[in-house]
Amino acid sequence: MSSDLQGLKIDRTPRTPPPSKWATRWIIAGVSILVVLGIGRVLYSTLVSAAPQVETIQVTAVSSGGAGGEAGTVLNATGYIVAHHEIQVASKVVGKVAWIGVEKGDPVRKGQEIVRLEDTEYRAQLEQAQGNLQSLEARLEELHHGSRPQEIEQARANLEQAQADLANAKLTYERNQALVKDGVVSKQDFDNAQYNYQNQVARVASLEKAYDLVKLGPRAEEIQGAGGAVQQAKGVVAYDQDQLDNTIIRAPIDGTILERAVEQGEFVTNGFVGDKGAKGYVVTLANLNDLQVELDIAQNDFAKLHLHQKGIVTTDAYPDRKYEGSLEEISPKADRQKATVQVKVQILHPDSYLRPEMNASVAFVADTPPPADASAEAARPVISVPASAVQNGAVFVVLNGHAVRRPVKVGPTSGQNARIESGLIGGENLVVNPPAGLKDGERVQVKS
């Protein structure tokens, strides 16, 4: 048995399982995906290669006044992009926010509703003022029309009645006056008759004056006073109407919301604002098509710049995108602590890639004022480009991957170079030999 037991063994050789039908399907699907990706890559390469390739050089402005010339860039400076006009939109009235219709980054149009405040109290004040105005206007209208015929007739009737009562009181008085002497009536009865007679005399005199006034109508001064009260009431109505209208806060300019400062239910005030509590403004907005670069220029370099000097603006976020700029603002005073002067460069054609508070660099190019004499003319910076780059009075520059056509004024040609009098400022990427049929705005590839 021992020999038989030793002959028993377990076969541990790994066996190859038969191929599964699901594995076969996955292999076929993978091959199909690879084929599709390959076709897509070929199509992408074909489309990209469809853009014409161009050779470019960077245009430089060279001063002819120095020996050997000097570069057209006179100064490089860094700073931050800022909105030319940043507005904190505040409320003219006090109230609680009932609705807010904008978010950060939303574009708005001038006059668009952005916030509404609760207006119940302001509506009640306006209705009260309107009611008071109507009452005063009715009174003024009554004075203008004067007394009605019925009122005059009533005053006359009252006067006639009083005159009849006076005649009767006079007869009674005279009768008692004779009888009191004979001792027929008492002294008390005589005094009562005398008092009644004098009272009727005064009453007749009063009713005569009233009758005359009713016939004459109101005095001019009384009408003027009523007119003044009406005018005052109109002012109160206008003020209350303005207060009600101010519960709707509108955008003062076309722009973009930079900050939303309030939420529904928060209190807005137009007075003193602390760290907590009521808000002093509701949103901050600015026109992002009106951007500047704020720079601090060292006092040692300040003399190199002047108003309206041109510059090329770039940002750290998009260093391949260049923007034309013009120095439009110079601070009237220097910063003593930093020994700098603040200047602002207007970005002439901003786009959606630019944001306030971005880092930005400006390369100021030589751009002297028009010369007054021949020596000054000789010192003006000169821009020289290959003559092959000029076609039909224009050149092409590459901007953001597109060929942009720029009309230029060409001066004297020296050898293979042409002098550009106007149209280029230096720093542009110029197409040296534009391909035949190149169009303005066409996408191009720059040869490396």
Residue 208: predicted pLDDT: 84
Q: 279-315 in b/e burial notation, b at 16+ Cβ within 10 A?
A: bbbbbbbbbbbebbbebbbeeeebeebeeebbbbbbb
State the fold for domain 73-85+287-365: Elongation Factor Tu (Ef-tu); domain 3 (2.40.30)
Q: What pairs with residue 397 in β-bridges?
A: 404, 430
* DSSP letters for 72-119: SEEEEEEEEEEESSEEEE--SS-EEEEEE---TT-EE-TT-EEEEE--
Exposure of 247 by Cβ count < 10 A (0-12 exposed, 13-18 middle, 19+ buried)? Answer: buried
- Tell me the fold of 86-118+247-286: OB fold (Dihydrolipoamide Acetyltransferase, E2P) (2.40.50)
Q: What is the pLDDT of residue 282?
A: 93
Domain parsing of the chain, residue ranges: 53-71+380-446, 73-85+287-365, 86-118+247-286, 127-241
pLDDT computed for residue 67 by the predictor: 35
Predicted local distance difference test score (pLDDT) of residue 174: 82
Contact predicate 357/293, CB 8 Å: no
Q: What are phi and psi of 291, to 5 degrees?
A: -115, 150
Q: Is 145 helix (H, G, I), strand (E, B) or coil?
A: helix
CATH fold group of domain 127-241: Helix Hairpins (1.10.287)
Q: What is the pLDDT along the chain (448 residues), one digit of tens a residue?
A: 555 555 555 555 555 555 556 656 667 776 677 766 766 665 555 554 567 888 888 887 665 444 333 347 889 999 999 999 999 999 999 999 999 999 999 999 999 999 999 999 999 999 999 999 999 999 888 887 777 777 778 888 888 888 888 888 888 888 888 787 777 778 888 888 888 888 988 988 888 888 777 777 777 788 888 889 999 999 999 999 999 999 999 999 999 999 999 999 999 988 766 556 677 889 999 999 999 999 999 988 888 899 999 999 999 899 889 999 999 999 999 999 989 999 999 999 999 899 999 999 999 998 654 454 544 444 556 788 888 888 888 999 888 888 889 898 887 766 577 888 888 877 788 898 888 888 888 888 888 6
Secondary-structure class of domain 53-71+380-446 per CATH:
mainly beta
Angle of CA points 293, 299, 305, to nearest 5°: 55
* Spatial distance between the Cα atoms of 44 and 46, rounded to a whole number of angstroms: 5
Cβ burial, residue 248 (10 Å; 0-12/13-18/19+): middle
- What pLDDT is recorded for position 364? 93
CA-CA distance, 1 to 11, in Å (whole number)? 21
Per-residue burial over 121-133, b if 16 or more Cβ lie within 10 Å, else e, is ebeebbeebeebb
